[in-house]
Amino acid sequence: MSGDEAARAHRAEGADHRRDLPDVPIRPAATVLLLRTASSGLEVFVQTRASGMEFAPDVTVFPGGGIEPSDGDDLRVTAARETHEECGVRVHPDDLVPLSRWVTPPGRPRRYDTMFYLAALPAGQEATCVTTEAVSAGWHAPQAVIDAWLAGRNKLMAPTYSQLFQLLPFDTVEDVLGWAAEAADLTPVAIVDGMTREERRFPGWAEYAEGSTIY
């Protein structure tokens, strides 16, 4: 097997999960793209989920999770709480900037209606992997995360790829936040089984379809 064939086989593993399970309730959730400006440019904090997780095992993701009763039906509060629980960083809910909204397709073991938020790493704080749901975490340039996926060194679901794709034009946190505050598209993205690759539409959809089996 060639290197390209091995990489494609590795990326395809994530597409083999069950897609015919009984439908389950859709739970509101929130995810945070924690950002910082490094000397080399924009970086985002990502983590690799543990292999034993029911939802998205071994997949590279951003910190986040489902809403809890204590969040008071406020997804910004959910996002801030999850960021602290998973990477030890305290962000204020009012500082979160919405980027996009995705809905998990039917037939999965868990379904979420997820808001993706942007947040700058607060001054004086450091991010690390403090959750048992992940086995590693760190700061990376968005293009570096995508390149690792193309090389078969990680797995990216379509929502994660799409968010990374939208970060590519920017060099600083300020530039990203300013753009998202004015131009982010919050129309829910719902990828339904049975769609052809050409029917799927989200930022970066064509590049994602070229590079990997769709989750």
Burial of 135 (0-12, 13-18, 19+ CB in 10 A): middle
* Angstrom distance (rounded) from CA 117 to CA 143: 19
CA distances, 8 to each of 45, 75, 102 (Å)? 25, 35, 25
Burial of 58 (0-12, 13-18, 19+ CB in 10 A): middle
* Region of residue 107 (left: phi > 0; alpha: psi -120 to 50; beta: else): left
Q: Write down the number of H helices and E strands in the chain.
A: 6, 8
Instruction: Quote the pLDDT of residue 142.
Output: 98
* Angstrom distance (rounded) from CA 198 to CA 205: 9
pLDDT < 50 positions in the chain: 1-4, 6-15
In 3-state terms, what secondary structure has residue 162?
helix
Instruction: Quote the pLDDT of residue 206.
Output: 82
Instruction: Quote the pLDDT of residue 88.
Output: 95
Instruction: Quote the pLDDT of residue 15.
Output: 47
What are the residue boundaries of the structural domains of the chain, listed by start? 3-211
97-127 confidence digits (pLDDT tens): 999 999 887 777 788 999 999 999 999 999 9
Contact 9, 47 (CB under 8 A): no
Place of tokens 């598209």: 185
The CATH homologous superfamily for domain 3-211 is Nucleoside Triphosphate Pyrophosphohydrolase (3.90.79.10)
